[in-house]
Amino acid sequence: MACIVAGDTIPDGTLSYADEAHQILNVSVHSLAAAKQVILCGVPGAFTPTCSSLKHVPGFIEKAEELKSKGISEIIVISVNDPYVMRAWGKSYPENKHVKFLSDSSGAYVKTLGLELDVSDRGFGIRSQRFALLLDDLKVKVANVESDGQFKVSSAEDLLKAL
């Protein structure tokens, strides 16, 4: 599939998470995004330096209240990691009250979006490109996709400017 762009309807797909009892639960993207404004943020990997330390995910946690005040209902971070890793990553931010950490374990959903990243040459397999999508009732309003490992257009601040 070609890379998702502004104006497209976000395709449905299944993401997962581990609940408090460590049970794996599935959720559809459409159930999370229908009739709402939602930010869907994709990252190459949990606990990686740019995603964890250089303000990508921390920026969404810090700006969550401001984003919600502008009409955002859900802020969702996805990565091609298993649900237990995503749960642990989310728990590593004790100040987080609004950002959901969901798993695309096999990379099937990012592939559907045309946003898979093959880093097999570095031993990481298929991952997600770094991106931030602003969705409004399943329509992509903003599609900020990074290139070549950059972090220049997919921050919380970038999406705040678009609201």
In a domain, 49, yes or no: yes
From the candidates 4, 29, 51, 102, which is the catalytic residue?
Answer: 51
> Is residue 127 in a domain?
yes
Over residues 87-99, the pLDDT tens digits come to: 999 999 999 999 9
Domain assignment present for 125 = yes
* Tokens coding 124: 């990481």
Report yes or no on 87 lying in a domain: yes
Q: Which domain, by its residues, includes 110?
A: 8-162
CATH number, position 35: 3.40.30.10
Instruction: Dump pLDDT digits (tens) for 13-38.
Output: 999 999 999 999 999 999 999 999 99
Percent of the chain's residues with pLDDT above 90 = 80
Of the candidates 121, 87, 125, which has an alpha carbon nearest to the alpha carbon of residue 106? 125
Q: Work out the number of other CB atoms within 10 angstroms of the CB of residue 120.
A: 10
Within-domain flag for 20: yes
Task: Specify if 3 maps to a domain.
Answer: no
Known catalytic residue at 51? yes
Structural domain count of the chain: 1
Judge whether residue 149 has pLDDT over 90.
Answer: no
